[in-house]
Amino acid sequence: MKVAVVGATGLVGTVMLKVLEERNFPLTELIPVASEKSVGKEITFKGKKFPIVSMDTAISMKPDIALFSAGGNTSLEHAPRFKEAGTTVIDNSSAWRMDPSIKLIVPEVNAHELSIENKIIANPNCSTIQMVVVLKPLHDKYKIKRVVVSTYQSVTGTGVKAVEQMMNERKGIDGPKAYPYEIDLNVIPHIDSFTESGYTKEEIKMIKETNKIMSDDNIKVTATTVRIPVMGGHSESVNIEFENDFDLAEVRSILEKAPGIIVVDDVANLKYPMPKDAHQKDEVFVGRIRRDDSAPKALNLWIVADNLRKGAATNAVQIAEYLIQKELV
């Protein structure tokens, strides 16, 4: 099992390597790929050193699986080349997500859609992933009509430059800026670029990706995505309106039994999910579970997950694990 990690030196790429190691992924050969300036340098994986290779070299080595986290343009250019070499690509960028011919996969929700013909598979947006993991078991039981989500997203979702900006501001150091405003001691209601509708591309991703992953265009979704000065993970306030009424105890029971979810909901003892608790974890954490008394058949939830792990690297690795388990590679 040859596995290439494209973008191996980036923020998500380094987490992909960590997740592969932690989960003891059954690879026999690792092929780290990065930009030309990194070629020849070495990364360490399971105590062994592996040289970083170029894209052309990696393609010529014909890996079974290529985990991509190197940006949309790189994916559009090179994922088809890996596909032609017989490699199955799992891509973490937004490049292929809304292509009708490409599967958009969260294993707990729709891995069953995958077949051996799917040679390019899209990993959804981080904020979408954690939300649909929670929505799916509730939709199966009560049928979702509408979702209103506000996100509180970690600076790690922007990348290393954003983390450095926040830490520099915290220390009073002037340095390169990832955001148009200060992020430390501030909140920026703006993720990705604005569209003519007034929504940002991040908000539109959450809307369209949710419908595609859930295979249900009847679910109405509206989103406001916000960047906050934290590093552990993304948080979301989610309001769900159902077709059918629900029992709160049953909702908790459904979520506790659902794959990939940990319920942390004991307000009497001040127990609820926070980014620092989700940091470096693979599960999605849910709390503040309560009925919305302002609307019939409506529920409020608070959802938290590590955006670099379940929101990116872990989800991609879980897709790869599923492909191996079902002998689709």
Residue 37 marked as a ligand binder: yes
Residue 23 among known ligand-binding residues: no
Q: Do the annotations mark residue 288 as ligand-binding?
A: no
Please indicate if the annotation marks 72 as binding a ligand.
Answer: no
Is residue 175 annotated as involved in ligand binding?
no
Question: Residue 5 carries which side chain, given as an amino acid letter?
Answer: V
Q: 115 a known binding residue?
A: no
Determine if residue 307 is labeled as part of a ligand binding site: yes
Strand order in the sheet with 284-291: 220-224, 144-152, 234-242, 298-305, 284-291, 261-263
Q: By CB neighbour count within 10 A (0-12 exposed, 13-18 middle, 19+ buried), where does 328 fall?
A: middle
- β-bridge partners, 43: 50
H helices of the chain, where?
Answer: 11-22, 55-60, 72-84, 107-110, 126-142, 160-171, 201-214, 248-257, 275-278, 314-325
Annotated binding residue at 230? no
Amino acid 43 reads I
Q: How far is CA 289 from CA 135, 152, 194, 274, in A?
A: 13, 18, 32, 14
- 16 pairs with which residues across the strands? none
Q: Give the active site residues.
A: 126, 234
Biggest CA-to-CA distance, the chain: 61
Residues 6 or more apart whose Cβ sits within 8 Å of residue 149: 127, 131, 206, 221, 222, 223, 224, 236, 237, 238, 239
Give backbone dihedrals phi and psi of 313, rounded to 5 degrees, phi first.
-65, -50
- Which residues line the annotated binding site for NADP(+)? 9-12, 37-38, 307
- Residues of each annotated binding site for phosphate: 97
Annotated binding site for substrate: 153, 227
Residue ranges of the binding site: 9-12, 37-38, 97, 153, 227, 307
